[in-house]
Structure 1
Amino acid sequence: MFSPEGPSLRELAVQALSSVERGYDLLAPKFDHTPYRTPDPVLDAVASALAGLGPFDAGLDLCCGTGAGMDVLARVCRGSVTGVDFSAGMLAVARERARPLPGGPAVSWVRADARALPFAPAFDLTVSFGAFGHFLPRELPGLFAQVHSVLRPGGCFAFPVVAPPRPGSPAYWALLGFDAVMRVRNALWRPPFVMYYRTFRLGDVGRELVRAGFRVDLYALPEFGRRPDGSPRVRLVVARKAPPVRAGGPRRARRAGTGSPESP
């Protein structure tokens, strides 16, 4: 699973027995050499899909880690891009590895908890990659409310979601086993390390986004094909903050982009 430059088994064990914040501080120097980093094909597919939904001015990478998602924002945002994470170690690596392009958007980094974002409604696009397993289901309403609060009217919150493995498949049992181990670990050890792969379910997520005030569309990412039942292997969730209603009644929002979104 890991390259020679990745963390050792001992380092992973120490991380797993730490808090989420401390664990990622420890993992940060080698994070990009682990399978936990979002793969480039996913980043490229999301950037391609978002390019048809813009243009965007200011972008925010929520739980940015070492900054892989910032490259996506830099491709679709014209003004500025901001990465926010609560791990000082991850942000340090992100700053060190950032290579702003001449003429590209301004880049900034902020240390903060995604559940208490220190921003005004200043962003046109928020993205997030691979971070939602660190939030318990009961935390999603507050998380989505925070994202809603930092978006400008009409702004988008976008993130990819991989279809769950087929019940009974090796991947299904692997994820089930991982979550079971984490639950036992958190029952026996403090501080807890919240990382569950099976708690972020698309149907529940869609309902919570709507409750937070978003209009939700789903876009298939064709680069990853479809499952035997015809459903996409990977979808892009695009949750748009409703624009203000003008005097004289509601105005139908223009739907940008190519292709037709699926029903959430």
Structure 2
Amino acid sequence: MFSPEGPSLRELAVQALSSVERGYDLLAPKFDHTPFRTPDEVLDAVESALRRTGPFDAGLDLCCGTGAGVGVLAGVCRERVVGVDFSAGMLDVARERGRPAGPPVSFVRADARALPFGDAFDLVVSFGAFGHFLPRELPGLFAQVRSVLRPGGCFAFPLVAPPRPGSLGYWMLLGFDTVMRVRNALWRPPFVMYYRAFRFGDVQRELARAGFRVELHALPEFGRRRDGSPRVRLVVARTPG
């Protein structure tokens, strides 16, 4: 699962016993060599779909990490791109990356629960970060996203279909979440990361409550499951206007 340039087992253990912020500060230099980084295939598919939806002027990458998703925004936005994350270590790595061609890119350290922007963006994207938010935090998170979008703006993120009950993937995710719950019951500070807590029914309901109109776009690059449903969808939540 990890390349030779990735973290050692000891480094992962230290990270897992830290807070979320401190854990990612420690992991940041090697994060791009772990399976936690969003694969390029997903980034490319989302960019392709957003090109059909846009163009956009200003874009925000929410919980940007080392900046992998910034390239998606640079490909579909015309004026500026901003990445925001609460890990200083991840942002340091993001700033050191080569700048993608396109509009100016900047990075801001802030918590997604308290974004320091007005309604300055036409597009907000996020990749692989929602496991760090408990279900009860979704209303506040989506309200923050809504507050930084201009009228008619979009909040877009990929959503992978959950593995079928009884499959290997199902048991792997269930096992991971169980280990994290036991860890958080026994150790402080907590490390919030649950793969099975971000459920589409809850997400769709809370997006609607926050005032978004939700659209679903299949990402054809990933094919369909046996029942015909897409393996990966792009959720596009639009503000009025």
| Shared fold (TM-score, shorter chain, > 0.5) | yes
Q: Distance in 2 between matches of 1:234 and 1:169?
A: 17
Q: CA deviation at 1:98?
A: 3.3
Q: Aligned residue pairs: how many?
A: 241
Task: List gaps (5 residues or longer) in structure 1.
Answer: 244-264
Q: CA deviation at 1:203?
A: 1.2
| Alpha-carbon contact 1:67-1:98 (below 8 Å) kept | no
Q: Distance in 2 between matches of 1:71 and 1:99?
A: 8
| Aligned match of 1:83 | 83
| Aligned match of 1:249 | none
| Aligned match of 2:186 | 188
The superposition leaves residues 27-72 of structure 1 with CA deviations (integer Å, 9 ceiling, x where unpaired) of 0000000000000000000000000111100000000000000000
Q: CA deviation at 1:100?
A: 3.6
Task: List gaps (5 residues or longer) in structure 2.
Answer: none
| Alpha-carbon contact 2:212-2:238 (below 8 Å) kept | yes
The superposition leaves residues 195-238 of structure 1 with CA deviations (integer Å, 9 ceiling, x where unpaired) of 00001011110010000000000000000000001100000000
**TM-score if structure 1 supplies the norm length?**
0.91
Moved over 3 A (4+): none
| Aligned match of 1:57 | 57
| Aligned match of 1:167 | 165
Match of 2:119 among 94, 118, 121: 121
Percent identity between matched residues is 85
Q: Do residues 217 (structure 1) and 215 (structure 2) align? A: yes
* Higher Cα Rg, which structure: 1
Per the alignment, in what secondary structure is the counterpart of residue 10 of structure 2? helix
Q: Distance in 2 between matches of 1:231 and 1:100?
A: 34
The superposition leaves residues 126-163 of structure 1 with CA deviations (integer Å, 9 ceiling, x where unpaired) of 00000000000000000000000000000000000000
Q: Which AA in structure 1 matches 2:123?
A: L
Q: CA RMSD in A?
A: 0.5
Match of 2:106 among 105, 108, 112: 108
